Amino acid sequence: MTELAPLLARIADKRDDLIALTQDLIRIPTLNPPGDNYREICDYLDRRLSAHGFMTEMIRAHGTPGDSEKYPRWNIVARRDGAQSGECVHFNSHTDVVEVGKGWTTDPFGGALIDGKIYGRGACDMKGGLATSIIAAESFIETYPDFHGAIEISGTADEESGGYGGVAYLAEKGYFDPKKVQHVIIPEPLNKDRVCLGHRGGWWAEIETFGEIAHGSMPFLGDCAVRHMGAVLDKFETDLFPAMAQRRTDMPVVPEGARQSTMNINSIHGGQKEQADDFTGLPAHCVPDSCRIVIDRRFLDEEPLDMVRDEVTGILNSLKSSRAKFDYALTELNHVLPSMTDRNAPIAATIAGQIQTVLGKPAQFVASPGTYDQKHIDRIGKLKNCVAYGPGILELAHKPDEYICVDDMMVSVEVMARSLAALLLPND
Ligand SMILES: [Zn+2]
């Protein structure tokens, strides 16, 4: 076993560097949408990582959703090869953050350090995680420059909007080919003592019911699309929601409520368009001939996607036979299959072992209710040895006054650096 005391001493020396790096990243406002400052944050990471001996590559995801001359989808992949051949450990972090929203008492792009917490949009999700992985990698490389294999760090766009201009694009270009990369850690905020093995699936669809326009004083001369949609929602309440509530997954999803199938009705609209807030007129009297909803169905590893689709279309088709003049259209908007890494996979077992060493208690294995970029590494990259592990507190993601605790980051730096030592130092 290699002596790890020099590594731990070096990590302890980098606390101020970790704070400054996290603050710098927060101060580059990479809001998505629209995808602000992706080039700026990649340039910052390029300067930082090049100075620490990484070879860097800037990759623009041309032609992906949202990519334009005004809002180019820039990504960075940095690689540091060791002195001898071996496996590659890749840290992937998204650089985008969601909108600020209301309710902040600190500057969302100020990166203020108050009582051991760094505040700002993206502090927790996930610029704190990105900074943590950089400090872990730099500490490891400086202590053991003769390590075996390679370390990669990527900063990628658009995770918050599906990852198509980020990890999906890189996976399509071969950056997550298992021949090139063997282990992936995504430092999403799942808490310093938990290893996240994967996520549930998602199916998004728009359903439209049709009617016939007529004068509102004589609705019997038309056909009300909103009433038809009411019948759809009623069937969801009586048939679909109770059936979904019965299904429990073996996936260790947190929070507990997400361990079953869920569905959100994302939006509903029927009849006349809503007018602008400053419109002072009255509505015309019409029977609506169209009503649309968007559904957001999250499903379990145990539920095949076809079953998820058929369950909804089955309800719609049953209404077609039982309800006069009922007609509908269903348009699938997107789908993501569940992803689950085995808890005995090398990266999952390695991180769990180091959590036990650093914190003196067993790691908790969890799965995420929502999807994240693991889906692309798994499905497009065909790389199964991937988990999420990062220091942020999950419940703070996307909230006002989002923060990250410096002490939590320091714990995760140690877990990540020890994991690098376990994977990239020879066992002599
Ligand atoms: Zn995130």
What does the pLDDT read at residue 202?
96
Over range 257-267, report the average pLDDT.
94
Same domain, 22 and 146: yes
Report the separation in Å between the CA atom of 80 and the middle of ligand 1, taken as the mean of its atom positions.
25
Distance 398 CA to ligand 1 centre (A): 9
Does 25 lie in the same domain as 120?
Answer: yes
Q: 98 C-alpha vs ligand 1 centroid, how far in Å? A: 9
Mean pLDDT of 291-299: 97
Whole-number Å distance, alpha carbon 245 to ligand 1 midpoint, is 27
User: Measured in angstroms, how far is the CA atom of residue 160 from the centroid of ligand 1?
Assistant: 7
- Residue 392 Cα to ligand 1 midpoint, Å, equals 10
Residue 2 has pLDDT above 80, yes or no: no
E strands, 103-147, are 113-114, 117-119
Confidence of residue 22 (pLDDT cuts 50, 70, 90): very high
Q: What is the mean pLDDT of residues 333-344?
A: 95
370 CA → ligand 1 middle, Å? 10
Using the mean position of ligand 1's atoms as its centre, give its distance from the Cα of residue 348 in Å: 19
Give mean pLDDT, residues 152-178: 97
Say if residue 122 is in the same domain as residue 208: no
**Among 292, 318, 336, which residue terminates a domain?**
336
Average pLDDT, integer, range 178-207: 97
Q: What mean pLDDT is predicted for residues 406-413?
A: 98
Rounded to the nearest angstrom, the distance between the alpha carbon of 284 and the centre of ligand 1 is: 45
Residues 137 and 9 in one domain: yes
Query: For residue 397, how far is its CA from the centre of ligand 1 (angstroms)?
Result: 8
Residue 127 DSSP code: I
Coil vs helix vs strand at 261: coil
Whether 142 and 231 share a structural domain: no
Distances (CA, A) of 121 to 98, 128, 316, 368: 8, 10, 41, 21
Cα(116) to centroid of ligand 1, in Å? 22
Ligand 1 centre distance from Cα of residue 94 (Å): 7
Q: How far is the CA of 310 from the centre of ligand 1 (A)?
A: 31
Does residue 353 sit in the same domain as residue 284?
no
Cβ-contact 28, 45 below 8 angstroms = no
Check residue 131 and give its pLDDT.
Answer: 98
Q: What b/e sequence results for 23-61 when a residue is b if at least 16 CB atoms lie within 10 Å of its CB, and e otherwise?
A: bbbbebbbbbeebbbbbebbebbbebbeeeebebeebbb
Q: What are phi and psi of 349, to 5 degrees?
A: -65, -40
- Model pLDDT, residue 274: 86
Claim to verify: residue 181 and residue 232 sit in the same structural domain: no
In this predicted model, what pLDDT tens digit does every residue of 368-389 receive, in sequence order? 999 999 999 999 999 999 999 9
Taking the C-alpha atoms of residue 269 and residue 287, their distance in angstroms, rounded to an integer, is: 14
Confidence of residue 1 (pLDDT cuts 50, 70, 90): low
| CATH number, residue 283 | 3.30.70.360
> If you measure from the C-alpha of residue 399 to the centroid of ligand 1, how many angstroms do you get, rounded to a whole number?
12
pLDDT at 347: 98
pLDDT range class, residue 428, cuts 50, 70, 90: low
Mean pLDDT, residues 54-63: 98
Q: Which of 169, 152, 154 is nearest to 73 (CA)?
A: 169
Domain limit, last residue, from 336, 361, 383: 336
* Final residue in a domain of this structure, among 316, 336, 356: 336
pLDDT of 171 reads 98
Instruction: Give pLDDT, residue 133.
Output: 98
CA of 269 from ligand 1 middle (Å) equals 30
The 10s digit of each residue's pLDDT in 194-253 is 999 999 999 999 999 999 999 999 999 999 999 999 999 999 999 999 999 999 999 999
Burial pattern 173-206, b for ≥16 Cβ within 10 A else e, equals eebbeeeebbbbbbbbbbbbbbbbbbbbbbbbbe
Same domain flag for 393 and 416: yes
Q: Any idea of the CA torsion for 58, 140, 347, 261, to the nearest 10 degrees?
A: -60
Centre of ligand 1 from the C-alpha of residue 206, in Å: 26
- Distance from Cα 187 to the centre of ligand 1, integer Å: 8
CA of 174 relative to ligand 1 center, distance in Å: 22
Spacing, Cα 188 to ligand 1 middle (Å): 5
User: Does residue 280 have a pLDDT over 70?
Assistant: yes
Separation of CA 189 and ligand 1 centre (Å):
7
Q: pLDDT value at position 215? A: 97
- How many independent structural domains does the chain possess? 2
State the chain's mean pLDDT as an integer: 96
CATH of the domain at 34: 3.40.630.10
223, 346: one domain = no
Strands 364-368 and 148-156: unpaired
Distance 185 CA to ligand 1 centre (A): 13
In a shared domain, residues 228 and 192: no
For residue 36, the CA-to-ligand 1 centroid distance in Å is 16
Kindly state whether residues 357 and 382 are assigned to the same domain: yes
pLDDT-derived band at 3 (thresholds 50, 70, 90) equals: confident
pLDDT value of position 51:
97
Query: Under a CB-based contact definition with an 8 Å cutoff, are residues 40 and 96 in contact?
Result: no
Contact 366, 341 (CB under 8 A): no
One domain, residues 287 and 177 = no
Residue 317, domain extent: 201-336
Average pLDDT over residues 299-314: 97
pTM value?
0.90
SS3 108: coil
Other CB atoms within 10 Å distance of the CB of residue 322:
10
